[in-house]
Amino acid sequence: MSDKARTLFDALDLDQDGTLTRAEVVGALRAKGPTLAAQGVIPFWGVGTADDASALFDEADQNGDRVLTFEEFAALVNRRFGW
């Protein structure tokens, strides 16, 4: 898994419990997305709307348990962002 995926996951894991909820992904991408893009953590086109962030969550949640593990998250962002 890429270092960028780990950096992004950790930035979105607001409660630092090792998983991501939909609220964390949507809220953190909206609040931190532009800064993360400026730092080169994600591409600028990766900063979308709340609906885009929610769709990203749904696509990554492979087992449907409504939380993302690092592995689920990294598999999607590595593919989507070309890491």
Q: The CATH number of the domain where 42 resides is what? A: 1.10.238.10
Q: Tell me, rounded to whole angstroms, the distance of Cα 36 from its chain centroid.
A: 11
Give the pLDDT of the chain (83 residues) as one tens digit per residue: 579 899 999 999 999 999 999 999 999 998 999 999 999 888 988 888 999 999 999 999 999 999 999 999 999 999 988 88
A 10 A CB-CB count for 49 gives: 11
Give the pLDDT of residue 47.
Answer: 83
Tell me how many degrees the CA angle 76-20-14 measures, rounded to the nearest 5: 125
Give the pLDDT of residue 1.
Answer: 59
Q: Domain range holding 39? A: 3-81
Q: Are the C-beta atoms of residues 57 and 68 closer than 8 Å to each other?
A: yes
Domain count, the chain: 1
What are the backbone angles phi and psi of residue 80, rounded to the nearest 5°? -70, -40
How far apart are the C-alpha atoms of 33 and 27, rounded to whole Å? 9
